[in-house]
Amino acid sequence: MNTNMLREKMLMNKPLNRLIGDMPKVGIRPVIDGRLAGVRESLEKTTMAMAKSVVRLIESSLHHSNGLPVECIIADTCIGGVAEASLTAEKFRKEGVGVSLTVTPCWCYGFETMDMEATTPKGIWGFNGTQRPGAVYLAAVSAGHTQKGLPAFTIYGRNVQDIGDTHIPADVRVKILRFVKAGLTVATMRGKSYLSIGGVSMGIGGSIVDQDFFEDFLGMRVESVDMTELVRRIEERIYDEEEFKRAYAWVRANCAEGKDYNKKSHSRKRRDWEWDFAVKSMMIVRDLMVGNSRLTKLGFGEEALGHNAIVSGFQGQRQWTDHYPNGDFLEAMLNSSFDWNGIRQPYIVATENDSLNGMCMLFGHLLTDSAQIFADVRTYWSPEAVERATGRNLSGTAAGGLLHLVNSGAAALDGCGRQMKDGKPAMKPFWEITPAEARACLKATTWPPAIYEYFRGGGFSSAYGTRANMPATMFRLNMVKGLGPALQIAEGQFVDLPPEIYTVLEERTNPTWPTHWFVPNLTGQGPFRDVYSVMNAWGANHGTISFDHIGSELITLASMLRIPVYMHNVASDRIFRPSAWTTFGTADPESADFRACVNFGSLYRKV
């Protein structure tokens, strides 16, 4: 196949569940006043119609992050008491329901009809109408959930509707979809693995992989593999050699080698070997994560199984990178939405085995369906410092200063700003990416030889800039002794700087790595009083960046997992947590969040 054909060929892969376990379903529970001889009969059609309208909303609006459609399961009958609640619970168990949404237009018998499954995220929509008191049931069952330690998200429309109206108001739609997407994220992670390839990198706290955190808060397991497994598989040829030939040819045609900034270059022969090693390493990490049925046919049945890893981390520095080519290529390309096999779902891989940032990347991917960016929160540039370094003034969104986010490794190529949505730069779910957009991302990226001062074993790092103005959210999980995990969130903007500023600032750091200029949205209070204070309050050296403003979605997810949020700039009217959270205080919701999470404890705690 000639080079031009390799550059033009970019297939769209069909949605696929590449992990073990069916995709979680959404269970819809229509509950009803169980009094026969007039009351129940008058409400049957209305209640079931309400459930079906919710199904239409969810199934027409949401996909799983692998592109498969979200499926809803409705209870066989309306639920008027404990017998029907139990029958529904049994049906949901058999069907693989991972999220439960109760709907009702009327009064029902509180905890006799409620969902009692302990680890399933639970939401309740109580119809705002006057003919029947749906809101009264909503309040009563919410109190039951809180009293029994089973927090539930309550949904109540702002405006009164007429009984039988199947229209779902806009405010209710937003809450239903936010709740369901976060709940599916919780359910999708459950039972999957974090694959730790290597150990602690350079003393970074996030790469101390805390198995109790994964088990108790996320319902996941941790699998560990030494980095020498890559060497074994390369030397013993435990990979698909036919795929490798195709992959290597594609990489050399589409991944342009960039400028060499080293004082002394590696030979052409050595660099060709490094490309060979990098492509094989990428294939092997993918196979370690999700397995590869082709390996069975090649006689490697054990290796074919994989580790059912929904996310992984690669240590790299320093023991590996002092001797072997770095992991930048495998991390960047696995995290991107395309490779030699076409446009497909990203594989989430964290640089330096930073498991906490890796989980943030997974949160972001499952909530948005799009690829994620891993970066160092490297530098705060004040307006004065920029003027001193460049002779130019910052303006517009960046006038008050900005943060330089840059790191070799796991920044998806999707982040370069070459994908478009509604005429604006974006990072999109893989099934919305066109072949032209994927090729544009590849063209916008070069692969300079690694800086040998950092990476003595060589390799190649992705070099691109986010040359677009895009809404973005930076966030980070941090682990606190005695408290556990806590999340921080900063919504803001990527900004595209003028070349005379961009180039000078990038050259001062490392032009061989991806660069993103980020300006958080300021509130005038606390750590968001100015850009410097956001940088100063950041809890670790790394952060995850998602396209768009998803702080509200992250807060909803964190409350499901009982992870408190200690720093955010999300407006109060966008925050959606379980109703029980208000019982821990309303004057200071941030403090109440901590008290609620500690009180209810981790979702999967064993003791």
Residue type, 414: D
Q: How far is CA 396 from the centre of its chain?
A: 30
Active-site annotation holds for 376: yes
Q: 3-class DSSP state for residue 483?
A: coil
Distances (CA, A) of 472 to 1, 176, 405, 496, 538: 39, 23, 12, 13, 16
CA dihedral of residues 200, 205, 208, 214 (deg, nearest 10): -140
Q: Which of 303, 328, 352, 553 is catalytic?
A: 352
The backbone torsions φ and ψ at residue 581, rounded to the nearest 5 degrees and listed phi first, read -60, -30
Strand residues in 308-415 grouped as ranges (E) = 309-314, 338-339, 342-343, 348-351, 373-381, 402-406
**Pairwise CA distance, residues 319 & 570, whole Å:** 41
Residue type, 575: I
Instruction: Tell me how crowded residue 552 is: count the other CB atoms within 10 A of its CB.
Output: 21
Q: Whose CA is closest to 58, among 187, 185, 180, 182?
A: 180
Active-site annotation holds for 352: yes
Q: What DSSP string runs through 401-454?
A: -EEEEE-SS-B-GGGGS-EEETTEEE--BGGG--HHHHHHHHHT-EEPBPPTTT
Alpha-carbon Rg for the chain, nearest whole angstrom, is: 25
**Pairwise CA distance, residues 434 & 429, whole Å:** 11
Q: Which of 115, 216, 331, 376 is catalytic?
A: 376
39: which residues sit within 8 A by CB, 6+ positions away? Answer: 33
Q: Which residues are catalytic?
A: 352, 376
